[in-house]
């Protein structure tokens, strides 16, 4: 139940944008991307090194993120990073599910 979730939980958000999924089973799908900051893997080939530090980015609550979804024209939301699994994604993913979105990591 959404009202049992902590909608005040905060995520460091690098950017949010529409694009086409370029990988995997849903390749070609109109999607909305939420890029979270933070990574402790430090792959030498990383093309998102600017996402490694959480401190550089604003913290948005689940409620803040939810409010930015009002005009998106897809049911596919991709949470990426960084390493998104550094964060407790349950408040965000359950909220997205309750809103009818299909979430990809």
Q: In what order do the strands lie in the sheet with 30-36?
A: 59-61, 10-20, 30-36, 76-80, 102-104
Q: Which is nearer to ligand SF4, 43 or 59 (CB)?
A: 43
* In the complex, least distance from residue 24 CB atom to ligand SF4, rounded to whole angstroms: 15
* In the complex, least distance from residue 17 CB atom to ligand SF4, rounded to whole angstroms: 17
* Residues in contact with 69: Cβ distance below 8 Å, sequence separation at least 6, in sequence order: 32, 77, 99, 101
Peptide bond into 46 cis (omega under 30): no
* In the complex, least distance from residue 2 CB atom to ligand SF4, rounded to whole angstroms: 29
Q: Which is nearer to ligand SF4, 39 or 95 (CB)?
A: 39
DSSP state of 16: E
Q: Which is nearer to ligand SF4, 13 or 69 (CB)?
A: 13
Interface residues with ligand SF4 (CB under 6 A)?
39, 41-43, 46, 48, 51, 81-83
DSSP state of 6: -
């Amino acid at each position: 139940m959404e009202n049992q979730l902590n909608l005040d939980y905060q995520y460091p958000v690098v950017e949010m944008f529409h694009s086409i999924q370029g990988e995997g089973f849903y390749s070609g799908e109109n999607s909305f991307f939420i890029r979270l900051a933070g990574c402790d893997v430090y792959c030498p080939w990383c093309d998102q090194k600017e996402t490694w530090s959480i401190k550089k980015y604003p913290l948005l609550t689940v409620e803040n993120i939810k409010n930015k979804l009002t005009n998106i024209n897809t049911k596919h939301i991709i949470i990426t990073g960084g390493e998104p699994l550094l964060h407790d994604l349950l408040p965000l993913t359950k909220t997205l599910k309750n809103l009818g979105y299909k979430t990809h990591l």
